[in-house]
Amino acid sequence: MYLRKGGNMKIHHPHLTVKDVSTNQEFLETYFDMTCRANRGKGFSIMHDEDGFVLTLMKGSEILFL
């Protein structure tokens, strides 16, 4: 996260732990026009959009989404 002019916080690079990286990656590509920049098997993916927003997905047992 970083501060923009005016003191507002903006999230630039969140990390999510999910049950199924591939399913979440497909969802983000389909509905949010994100692109997979890189992945490591079925356990990790780096997604980005045209505005420079970066999202990492990692398979794990402490699930926040899907």
Tens-level pLDDT at each residue, the chain (66 residues): 455 566 666 777 888 899 899 999 999 999 999 999 998 988 999 999 998 899 999 998 776 555
H-only helix segments in the chain: 21-31
Question: Which region holds residue 45: left if phi is over 0, alpha if psi is between -120 and 50, else beta?
Answer: beta
Tokens 């997604």 correspond to 47
Note the pLDDT of residue 38. 92
Distance, CA of 41 to CA of 28 (rounded, Å):
17
Using CA atoms in the order 62, 9, 1, 64, what is the torsion angle rounded to 10 degrees?
10
C-beta separation of 11 from 19 below 8 A: no
